[in-house]
Amino acid sequence: MQSPPGSELIRWRLLRRYAPRNDNGIYILPASTTHNCAVHIRLSSDASHITHPSTEGPSLAMQRALADGGIEPARVGYINAHGTGTDVNDPTEAAAIRQVFRSHTDQIAVSSTKSMHGHALGAAAAMEAAATVLGMHHRVLPPTANFTELDPAIQLDVIANRARPAEVEYAISNSFAFGGLNATLAFRRV
Hey, which residues does 175 pair with through a beta bridge? 183
CATH number of 122's domain = 3.40.47.10
Q: Would residue 46 count as lying in a domain?
A: yes
Q: Which residue has the higher pLDDT, 188 or 117?
A: 188
CB 187 within 8 A of CB 44: no
DSSP for residue 113: T
Range of the domain at 138: 6-189
pTM of the model: 0.80
Q: Which of 133, 116, 138 is nearest to 171 (CA)?
A: 133
Q: Would residue 1 count as lying in a domain?
A: no
Q: Specify the pLDDT at position 39.
A: 65
Strand pairing class (76-80; 170-177): parallel
State mean pLDDT over 132-159.
Answer: 92
